Chains A and B, each alone.
Chain A
Amino acid sequence: MGAVLAIARKDLLLLLRDKGGLFFVFFFPILFALFFGTVFSGDEKATRIAVLVADEDGTDGSRAFVESLAESEDLRVSPAATREAAVGAVRAGKAPAAVVIPKGFGERDAAMFGGEAPKVDLAVDPSRKAEGGMLEGILLRQAGERLGKKFTDPAALRRQARDGVARVRSGDVPAEIRKDLEPLLDRVSALADTYEKRAADLAGGGEAESAVAGFFRPLVVERVRTVAAEGAGDRPANGFAVTFPQAAIWGVIGATAGFGISLVSERTKGTMVRLRAAPIPGSAVLLGKAIACFTTVAGVVAVLLALASAGFGLRVQSPALLALAVASIGVCFVGIMMMLASAARTEQAAGGMGWAVLIVMSMLGGGMIPLMFMPAWLSSIGSVSPVKWAILAMEGAVWRGYTPAQMLLPCGVLIAVGVVGFAVGARVFRSAG
């Protein structure tokens, strides 16, 4: 055991002396976590969708609509002088999206009964598909809310009823529809009266809106908490809670590649000969290397998560389960390290192959882009990547609120990969002599 520890200590010392290795194991992951953490959760306004709005209509209705967009928490609205300016900016890649409110919007907007639906034109940068979809949803939501308001404002309702009757009688509307619409509009006028009366009864003026609010809301969406409370009320995990575990994976990958290369270099240099000639069991050499790799992997994850909880509002729900996750990740990547080292003949091969394999694993497993942003088929392929299970294990313990039983799957996969990798690697090493 003394020899195993001596080897582990030597390997850790070598890592500490290797500035390039240290950079990849510790500093790059920290930079990664800080950078993407800031992007995802730093400035609220920075994550809103920027949209140019050109109001060609210039009516009360269109202005009110623009205002409602500007008030939306999801958008950052800037005015554009003309349709050409707005659409041109999108085409040139200067703005992700533009909304043009064409002439006639106000008129159509005012005519709730009969007439055509109000219409806007939306231009989206083809490279920002996701934002385009979100933007369409936001526009419809704003329109829905405006509709709800119109139905609950007695004055507006009465005006709509009056204008509607006039429009119906003017003859644009087919006879059979007019037959139904006229009595309905009468009832609408009556409804406006009822609203007013009820508001007066309740509080005496002023609160008419709140008295009837909710009667005409097309859909209320309420977010259900999927993430257990993080101590501070029901604030969901912030961006750093996502990016720090992800970044820890980069450190883990750096350590795996680094120790894999160092194991190969023992072989290409003469040191392996001397280690194997020493009066220690053959397994001691691999075990020592494995302990050093495990310590580094666990250390990287611990350092990053400690940093995240010290300075970036990350709260670890279950330290015990986190310890389990970290240990499983350590076992897994020690196995991967052994497999890489046994497959490569030279340090260059180990480095090249190691990084290639690990980066693909990371890509598939959500170490670069979170799995939720990937197409379904791709994210299900991700299950073959240990990186996916490593991230899941960490998140399970940190903020997903996994039970010990739920931790079994990711941790079990990780440990199985590690054990198989170690066994295969050790076998190849032994037979390579």
Chain B
Amino acid sequence: MLHLANISKSYKRGALVAVDGLTLEVREGEVFGLLGPNGAGKSTTIGIAVGLTMPDSGTVVLGDMGPPTGGPARRALGVAPQSLAVYDELSGEENLRFFGRLYGLGGKALEGRVEEMLELSGLSDRRGDRVSGYSGGMKRRLNIASALLHNPRMLMLDEPTVGVDPQSRNAIFDQIESMRARGLTVLYTTHYMEEAQRLCNRVGIIDRGRLLAVDTPDALIDRYGGDSTLTIDGDRGQESMKTKDPARDVASALARGGVRGVRIDRPNLETVFLSLTGRSLRD
């Protein structure tokens, strides 16, 4: 669906490389996660993917619609920017109506879509209130809803859970899972590895503008995650060990006896990132 080939973008006359030779494909119907720390180049990549930022080099193609700057491509894309794209002094439904009109929606069709989106984002009962009175989570949900309003084929979600309370975060997860179920293509950026692991079919690890690895979360963990850590609380105190087969090691420890408790830490995308970069995702 979306092909980025050898994209580079630098700022400050080349002194700051935001995206560095990035090649990436997002397949039709998948939720693709771009996981990386602050400043990794996620937003820049999204900007290039939707045709708002001109790359210094490389090409962007959106399926059969060519570059993302054309009319049909724009209609096929929905963007929920990292900085909220909603007007504080308009109500939730006024925001939705306005963005709908930009996509040529009007009349009954527009009202129907607005209704659906308010429902989907759980904002129906606050529809008439000014957005300035919404919580951070409600604003995020509205931000996503207005990107979905015109029924795009592909959705770009740039850090959709930043500054969101746990309840709204779960609502957003549900929203994304239902999109995935309906076969919508999603490019999702985050620096929370749990989100990438839970929501994404495939994940790309990005750091300092470079894409370091791409695969399903399980495959990435298998390949780069390393061993599990097994911690046994016993008569002789606490004991930690690395293991490829924690179940077998637990069984043999129990057989030896004197075990008061065990803990298994399986590798995750955090450990993947650590082993790829030597740094932690959140520093």
Contacts and interface: CB of A to CB of B under 8 A. Distances in A.
A270 interface: yes
Nearest to A288: B102
B102 A433 contact: no
Interface in A300-341: none
B203 to A, nearest CB: 24
B53 interface: yes
A270 B158 CA distance: 11
Contacts of A3: 101-102, 104
Nearest to B81: A270
A216 to B, nearest CB: 74
Given A277-B74, A279-B74, A271 B102 contact: no
A379 B80 CA distance: 52
Interface residues of B, number: 32
A84 interface: no
A227 interface: no
B85 A273 contact: yes
A280 B82 CA distance: 21
Contacts of A276: 52
B268 interface: no
Contacts of A2: 101, 104, 106
B224 interface: no
Interface string A1-24: 011001100100110011000000
Interface in B126-149: 130, 143, 146-147
Nearest to A279: B74
A10 B89 contact: no
Helix, strand, loop or mixed for chain A's interface?
Answer: helix
B94 interface: yes
Contacts of A224: none
A223 interface: no
A34 to B, nearest CB: 29
Contacts of B146: 274
A128 interface: no
B87 A273 contact: no
Nearest to B53: A433
B173 interface: no
Contacts of A275: 102
A274 B89 contact: no
A6 B102 contact: yes
B104 A270 contact: no
Interface in A239-272: 268-271
Contacts of A268: 83
B264 interface: no
Interface in B78-112: 79, 81-87, 89-90, 94, 98-99, 101-104, 106
Given A274-B79, A433-B54, A279 B89 contact: no
Contacts of A270: 81-86, 143
A3 B106 CA distance: 11
Nearest to A274: B85
B104 A18 contact: no
A405 interface: no
Nearest to B73: A279
Most buried by B among A17, A268, A276, A279: A279
Contacts of A219: none
A232 interface: no
Most buried by B among A3, A17, A271, A277: A277
Contacts of A433: 52-54
B121 to A, nearest CB: 16
A323 B25 CA distance: 57
Contact of B103 (A17, A273, A279): A279
A277 B77 contact: yes
A273 B52 contact: yes
A429 to B, nearest CB: 13
Interface in B111-133: 130
Nearest to A284: B102
B79 A277 contact: yes
A18 B89 CA distance: 8
A13 B89 CA distance: 9
B81 A273 contact: yes
Most buried by B among A7, A273, A276, A433: A273
12 contacts: A2-B106, A10-B87, A10-B98, A13-B89, A13-B94, A17-B130, A270-B82, A274-B99, A277-B74, A278-B99, A279-B71, A280-B102
Listed from nearest, the 6 A-B pairs whose CB atoms lie closest are: A270-B81, A270-B85, A270-B83, A6-B101, A279-B74, A278-B102
Interface of B: 47, 50-54, 71, 74-75, 77, 79, 81-87, 89-90, 94, 98-99, 101-104, 106, 130, 143, 146-147
Interface of A: 2-3, 6-7, 10, 13-14, 17-18, 268-271, 273-280, 433
Given A2-B104, A274-B99, A277-B51, 20 more contacts: A3-B102, A3-B104, A6-B101, A10-B98, A13-B94, A14-B87, A14-B90, A17-B89, A18-B89, A268-B83, A269-B83, A270-B84, A271-B87, A273-B79, A273-B85, A277-B52, A277-B74, A278-B103, A279-B102, A279-B104
